[in-house]
Structure 1
Amino acid sequence: MEILAELDGATIIRATREHIPTIERLLADDPTSPQHVATTTLISDEVLGPTPGDSDLEAAFERIDSDPNQSLLVILDDSDRIIGTLQLSFVTTMARGGGIRAFCSGARIRAGADSIAIGKEVFAWMVGYAKSRGARVLMVTTDKDRAHIHGFFTTMGFRATHDALTLPLCPSK
């Protein structure tokens, strides 16, 4: 287990293959997910049920894990239970003088009394981590339908400075 940070309420580690089913369930526990399970409590794997049989997360994990510019992370609580996940991608761009941009996507923290506090700790750590990797900017991608999360990001200092447009290139699963 590669520990990246030990925070007051959580530990951040690099994800392993064994974490894939829990990461998938965390991502499904969101109103924008087609597999959404509405809840305001901690989600157990039993509640979320089996993973879809047609997902190709093993191959995706291999691509992410083998790329030094990708970090798939999980957040553990004090009992070493996975309570969150996020993916950081580092991209060197020609824009802004060839700077590195860090992109955070798929950030989820399971609902609970301390989820906002833990989320703030994780994002504060992420800012420092992105700086240590040479990033000039940290961008968070989130679905526009996740309005409940946008307020959280603005309290962390993020501003809506860019608009992104998407074009689906394959049918949704």
Structure 2
Amino acid sequence: MKFRKATISDVPAIVEMIADDKLGKTREDFKIPLPDKYYDAYKNINTDSNQELIVVENDKLEVVGTMQLSFIQYLTYQGGIRAQIEAVRIRKDQRGTGLGTKMFEWAIQRAKERNAHVLQLTTDKKRPDAIRFYESLGFKASHEGMKMHF
């Protein structure tokens, strides 16, 4: 497995993975050609030094996983940095192989390299399997999240 920053040519594979679940199907617009809004978002992410859009390649150089790490500078925790992990997805044929655990091990190490004091995530309450997986890795439900959609 190889972890690397995503390139613009990876965007279709990333969006396909994001759209390939019950919730993603309702939120995403995956089709070929891919709508420009995804490429625009990639460009914004790629130019921000506090954002890392990561892909995982198998030995055939196929993209089989993705995640986004955001590094957020705070004044709290004595000027600490929080790492936020989002959009963790694994290609359907690779689920259940241990890849998710390897991805989180990599993300934890990357957060430490960036001197983050915490790695946090949010997950939809409609994803009980994901919640159990995150708990098995040592994540704790410490806060109640709230959102306001526009």
Fold-level match, TM-score > 0.5? yes
Paired residues of 1:25 and 1:51 also in contact (CA < 8 A): no
Q: Does 1:14 align with 2:10?
A: no
Give, in whole Å, the separation in 2 of the partners of 1:141 and 1:109: 17
1:77 deviates by: 1.2
Select 1:117's aligned residue among 83, 98, 102. 98
| Counterpart pick for 1:30 among 17, 21, 25 | 21
Structure with the higher helix share, 1 or 2: 2
Shift of 1:53: 6.0
SS in 1 for 2:147: coil
User: Do residues 90 (structure 1) and 71 (structure 2) align?
Assistant: yes
Amino acid at match of 1:30: D
Q: Would you say how many aligned residue pairs link Structure 1 and Structure 2?
A: 149
Query: How many angstroms does 1:96 deviate by?
Result: 2.0
- Consecutive unaligned residues of structure 1, counting only runs of 5 or more, are 1-9, 37-48
Is the CA contact 1:24–1:51 (under 8 Å) kept in the aligned structure 2? Answer: no
Root-mean-square deviation over aligned CA pairs: 2.1
- Matched residue, 1:147: 128
Q: Which amino acid aligns with 2:134?
A: F
TM-score for both structures, normalised by structure 2: 0.90
Alpha-carbon distance in structure 2 between the residues aligned to 1:54 and 1:75 = 23
Aligned residue among 66, 87, 91 for 1:106: 87
- Structure 2, gaps ≥5 residues long: none
Change (3 A) 1:114 1:57: closer
Aligned to 1:68: 49
| CA separation of 1:141 and 1:51: change in aligned 2, threshold 3 A | farther
- Give the match's secondary structure for 1:163: coil
* Percent identical: 33
Give the alignment partner of residue 108 of structure 2, picking from 118, 127, 134.
127
* Aligned residues of 1:29 and 1:35 also touching (Cα < 8 A): no
